Structure 1
Amino acid sequence: MDLPQLKTKRLRLRPLTYNDTDRIFEIFSNPDVTRYWGHDTLEEKEEANEFIQRTISGSKDESLLEWGIISNQNQELIGTCALSGLDQEHHRAEVGFALHPQYWGNGYMIEALPAILRFGFIKLKLHRIEADVDPRNSSSINLLEKFNFQKEGLMRERYFINGEIQDALFYGLLRSEFKRF
């Protein structure tokens, strides 16, 4: 699938390219970003290249759709937002997102997430979008609940990331529950 650009008032969401390697490394080598990410912190720039290669391959086979979030103000890559685990048979996917800490608290994900949800529910005709979040990640939990995601369960000690055992809360949003923000 050719990943389309999505636009909001302050942001442009576009496919990642290898030109984004340095910025992806800067974002995902930061332990504050990866604390609840689901993967270990990047330690070498080559891992950022591999990250981008996975997004390019995932877009081709439609298993992972990952957008870079670009600030219209400075044209800088400030984070990523993705639909992963796309399951056409069951019409579902999982949403994930991350921002550079410099941009936390400015409402950027409140703006980016609806664009991804609209794309999933309208363009991909998904029935359900899921999210998996660490129970300590109150910012992500608040964001999901703002968009009507419902808490569906807790999986205890599901991940071992950066040397730490982590629980996972599962959230789900059905197309019928999606409010078009």
Structure 2
Amino acid sequence: MPTLNDRQILLRPLTTADAAAFYLLYNTQEEKPFEPGETPEQFTNRIMSYCEYIWTIALVDDPGKIIGDCALHHFETTTGEIQVGGALLPEYQGKGYMARAFTLVMDFAASTLGIRIFVGETTPGNFAAIKLVQKLGFEIAGSSGGNVVLKKFVQG
């Protein structure tokens, strides 16, 4: 899995060495995805096992501090469809970092994996996430399990 970057952010593959920072990231989120008694290492390994690709997000100016993650998961090879998702520490939200991360990851996936459909899924009340992906060209495609499903079709 490659390292990806632009002028502001650096995406590095998540490893178990990142477990403490990765656990802290998800401990700041409204919904905590932890299993009862799960250690940071167990949580990190579990999430890595679900994702085809998962990167940490850091700023180019401070590459040692993990401020978020960005992942590709649920790859449907027959349709060329994959889900994209991620999280940021609250103090870094609303500054364009996730849009940059999604753009880097989607460019990689389209050119390397032949992805033609990106899917995003979030809760109906997560207006910031919905607005973010709509700015990136996603459109509301329906719902699943009470969540809003958005899709972006890649020309190619």
TM-score of the superposition, structure 2-length normalised?
A: 0.89
Alignment equivalent of 1:171, drawn from 134, 150, 154: 150
**What do the CA deviations read for 1:46-71 (whole angstroms, capped 9, x no partner)?**
1x31233245545xxxx521111111
- The DSSP-based 3-state class of the residue aligned with 1:77 is coil
Asked if 1 retains the 8 angstrom alpha-carbon contact of 2:4 and 2:12, the reply is yes
List runs of 5+ in structure 1 lacking aligned partners: 159-166
The aligned residue for residue 2 of structure 2 is 4
Identity between Structure 1 and Structure 2 (%): 25
Displaced runs of 4 or more, over 3 A: 41-45, 54-58
Q: What is the root-mean-square deviation of aligned Cα atoms in Å?
A: 2.0
Q: What per-residue deviation string (whole Å, max 9, x for no partner) do you get for residues 19-76 of structure 1?
A: 211111111112xx243xxx63577561x31233245545xxxx52111111112221
The one-letter amino acid paired with 1:67 is: W
Please list every run of 5 or more consecutive structure 2 residues that lacks an aligned counterpart in the other structure: none
1:14 corresponds to which of 12, 15, 18: 12
CA distance in 2, matches of 1:83, 1:145: 18
Matching of residues 1-181 of structure 1 within 5 Å:
3-30=1-28, 33-35=29-31, 40-41=33-34, 46=39, 48-54=40-46, 56-57=48-49, 64-75=52-63, 76-155=65-144, 158=145, 167-176=146-155
- 2:7 maps to a residue whose letter is K
Aligned in 2, Cα 1:54/1:107: closer, same or farther, shift over 3 Å? same
Give the count of matched residue pairs.
155
Which whole-Å CA distance do the structure 1 matches of 2:128 and 2:46 have between them? 27
Letter in 2 for 1:130: V
Task: Tell whether the 8 Å contact from 2:54 to 2:72 is kept in structure 1 after alignment.
Answer: yes
Q: Answer whether contact 2:81 2:115 (CA < 8 A) is retained.
A: yes
